């Protein structure tokens, strides 16, 4: 029964692009209850905090709870915002509710020009650097050079890497969460979920001299009301001189292929590949950028590989955010 329900959910997220709405709006509510965590210890919580940009509008933000202190802060490197709250060690209850209205627009960047104006790579140096799980040298660079051989422009290299990723990676439903994005392991065993597939694209792009970055978000449901607790998603943007940041989502290509049992040669696969090259649907909203994040205030643990889930520490020890029930959080969506 569980597998049937998961399949139904996946099908609801993968329909023909022509049927997708151009915008999606609703109320997102994040409910956190850390009361069942170890008592008598200071507790700290960070939640990815959605903000407005040119593709999404966030408003009517409400935060309530029995915390001792709270605030919204950004990390120093990426400017990724987080809602922070803490409870004193003698707190008997540790609850927080965060809600907001979000309206998200579909993005479609088409007619990408092959003419490349001059640009300074130093301006985008941070998007060409390795991360702890995404090297840009060694075997990664060799593969990137092979994929982009003969390609002279950023556009041509970015497209070649997109095609390679769509054709060589695959979605593995057994992967925990969105995946860790361990590129070296993935090149040996190329199955994973959205962070895995996106990370491979980004490492190869950066190794080829194409600035690229992950975008972390949460999917919005297509029904009037949905539990979206486990609907985190990761996609990619690459920088195209003369155009700006261009979205691509090879992970959703591979997800559609898995759910709809498509082959690479199928016409519908080509439809998805064309759509997600420069386009992403409106059924998602952005919450974070960056890898290896040191939060603000800084967490006691190691830098966060990704920040798409609520993160909490009890007496300096991280709570498993891949287990929403054990952690004590859920995320709900209600259309508006």
Predicted local distance difference test score (pLDDT) of residue 213: 98
Using DSSP, state whether 66 is helix, strand or coil.
coil
CA distances (Å), origin 90, targets 35, 40, 84, 258, 297: 11, 5, 19, 49, 21
Q: How high is the pLDDT of residue 11?
A: 41
Q: What is the domain class of 111-286 according to CATH?
A: alpha beta
User: Can you tell me the distance from the alpha carbon of 28 to that of 49, in angstroms, rounded to the nearest whole number?
Assistant: 11
**Per-residue pLDDT at 15:** 54
Q: Are strands 212-219 and 284-289 parallel, antiparallel or unpaired?
A: antiparallel
d(CA 184, CA 202): 13
For residue 92, the SS3 value is coil
Beta-bridge partners for 304: 293
pLDDT average per 10 residues of sequence, the chain (336 residues): 41 59 96 97 98 98 98 96 98 98 96 90 97 98 98 97 98 97 98 98 98 98 96 98 97 98 98 97 97 97 97 98 98 96
What pTM was computed for the model? 0.93
Cα–Cα distance list, 95 to 35, 44, 66, 100, 139 (Å): 7, 11, 6, 17, 47
Q: How far apart are CA 336 and CA 318, in angstroms?
A: 35
- Specify whether the CB–CB gap between 289 and 127 falls below 8 A: no
pLDDT at residue 114, as a whole number: 81
């Amino acid at each position: 029964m569980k597998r049937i329900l998961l399949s139904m959910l996946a099908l609801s997220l993968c329909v023909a692009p022509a049927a997708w709405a151009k915008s999606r709006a609703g109320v997102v509510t994040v409910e956190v209850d850390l009361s069942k965590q170890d008592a008598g210890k200071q507790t700290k919580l960070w939640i990815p905090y959605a903000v407005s940009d040119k593709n999404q509008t966030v408003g009517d933000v409400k935060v309530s709870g029995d915390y001792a202190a709270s605030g919204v802060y950004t990390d120093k490197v990426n400017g990724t915002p987080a809602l922070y709250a803490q409870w004193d060690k003698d707190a008997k209850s540790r609850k927080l509710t965060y809600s907001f209205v979000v309206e998200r627009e579909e993005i479609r960047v088409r007619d990408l020009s092959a003419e490349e104006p001059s640009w300074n790579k130093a301006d985008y140096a941070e998007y060409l650097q390795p991360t702890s799980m995404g090297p840009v040298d060694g075997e990664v660079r060799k593969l990137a050079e092979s994929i982009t051989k003969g390609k002279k422009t950023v556009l041509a290299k970015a497209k070649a890497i997109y095609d390679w990723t769509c054709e060589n990676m695959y979605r593995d439903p057994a992967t925990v969460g969105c995946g860790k994005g361990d590129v070296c392991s993935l090149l040996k065993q190329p199955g994973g979920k959205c962070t895995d597939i996106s990370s491979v694209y980004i490492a190869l792009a950066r190794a080829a001299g194409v600035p690229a970055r992950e975008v972390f978000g949460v999917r919005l449901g297509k029904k009037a009301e949905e539990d979206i607790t486990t609907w985190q998603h990761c996609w990619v943007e690459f920088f195209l001189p003369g155009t700006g940041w261009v979205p691509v989502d090879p992970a959703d290509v591979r997800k559609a292929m898995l759910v709809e049992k498509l082959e690479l040669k199928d016409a519908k696969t080509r439809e998805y590949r064309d759509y997600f090259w420069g386009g992403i649907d409106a059924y998602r909203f952005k919450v974070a950028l960056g890898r290896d994040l040191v939060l603000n205030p800084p967490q006691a643990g190691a830098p966060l590989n990704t920040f798409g889930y609520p993160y909490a520490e009890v007496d300096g020890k991280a709570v498993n955010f891949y287990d929403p029930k054990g952690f004590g959080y859920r995320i709900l969506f209600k259309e508006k």
